[in-house]
Amino acid sequence: MKPMKPGFYTFSFLLCTSLSLLCPQPTAAADEAFSPEQVIRYEGKTRISQKVGDGAPQGDSFDCTLLSISEGSSKVARTILAVRELVPAGEGGSPVATHDILDLGKGSSPKARETVIELETPHQMIGIYLPLRLGMPPAKPTEKSSYEVLILNQIPVRIECASSTSGSEKNLETSSISNAKKATFDFRGSEATLNKWEESYTRDKKQGIISGIRIGYEFSVSINGNDITLSLDCALEAKEITTLAKTPVLGKGLAAFRTASAAFADMKPSTETQPLVEEISKLLDKSPWAALARAARTRLQGFVETFESDDAGKRLAKILGKPAPDFTLSDLDGKQVNFRKETAGKVTLLGFWGVG
């Protein structure tokens, strides 16, 4: 699979990639309840446009898919497997997909687990174009309330927002959030202005699901004397609502995906994981759930590029996830310090230095 090469994507991705080490991963907003083994396939379109000065707007458009697969016991969903896929709407570039595991906390929105190192780049790219939103975020239904949004999937901005709820059709209810006024934020050392933020969620009360998701925003910033306006418009609609029990081919593909994921986590070489990924592709590529197969191929490609393409990656693969070597040394006061004993259960940063 060749890497994706959309033209404008380079602008937005490179501008915000450096922020990824400073900002936490977003929490996925969600509906209050998820049925175990429920599967929802959303489809839609997303576009980011950039306008520089008086020039014509330029941008990239994608057809997008979001799969939401609830997993857990027979009564309660414990986790959600969320798969996001982007397919370039025009010529050039290749489709890409990635996945998140969301833990459902009682009374709170699901939290995405930490992104594995081999998926960081596709994760950032997909998040820019297709925010991970599974339902109405927790915002108080008041005229004006404070709400934190994410620009380009990385830059947190707190806005003063207004929310509303309306019933457009029988059994359908739409909840919306928009900014009540403009907000300013720091964009790589320059002051940017969030001109517009809108998001809406249509709930199918009969089926108990979110059937429509739409997110759009626009912000402006001046960089090196250039006035830049950037906007996002992303809209998704539920196209299929089913369960794992009713989709045996997805059930088989999901089981194979779990096996492959465990092999990746155990740092198995691509000679072992590639047959597993090929099995997933064979099961799902011609089905409505092909995004899950593409997500597996994305991880395989990322694993090879991260851990098997050069000597540095190969060395990293040998030590990642393994216990650090134990040792005992004297501290500045001459006291003997055992590394493993002193650091057990702690996040530890080692600094190697010398004097003289």
pLDDT tens profile 73-89 = 655 557 889 999 999 98
Same domain, 233 and 104: yes
How high does pLDDT run on average in the chain? 81
Distance between first and last Cα of the chain: 51
Q: Which two tokens stand for residue 255?
A: 């089981």
**CB 239 within 8 Å of CB 41:** yes
**Most trustworthy range by pLDDT among 18-22, 140-144, 165-169:** 165-169
Q: Is residue 312 part of a domain?
A: yes
In this structure, what token pair is assigned to residue 349? 């940063």
Q: Do 220 and 269 belong to one domain?
A: no
The verdict on 236 and 134 lying in the same domain is: yes
Domain membership of residue 64 (yes or no) is yes
Q: Whole domain around residue 271: which residue ranges?
A: 248-319
Residue 231: its pLDDT value, please?
A: 93
* 343 part of a folded domain: no
Residue 350 — very low, low, confident or very high, per pLDDT cuts 50/70/90?
confident
Question: Both 47 and 135 in a single domain?
Answer: yes
Residue 19 lies in a domain: yes
- Does residue 356 belong to any structural domain of this protein? no
Is position 158 within any domain?
no
Closest residue by Cα to residue 26 from 137, 183, 184, 150:
150
pTM of the model: 0.80
Average pLDDT over residues 18-37: 48
Tally of domains in the chain = 2
Are 58 and 115 members of one domain?
A: yes
Buried b (16+ CB within 10 A) or exposed e, 34-49: bbebbbbbbbbebbbb
pLDDT tens column, 156-181: 898 888 877 877 667 888 888 888 89
- Is residue 164 assigned to a domain? no
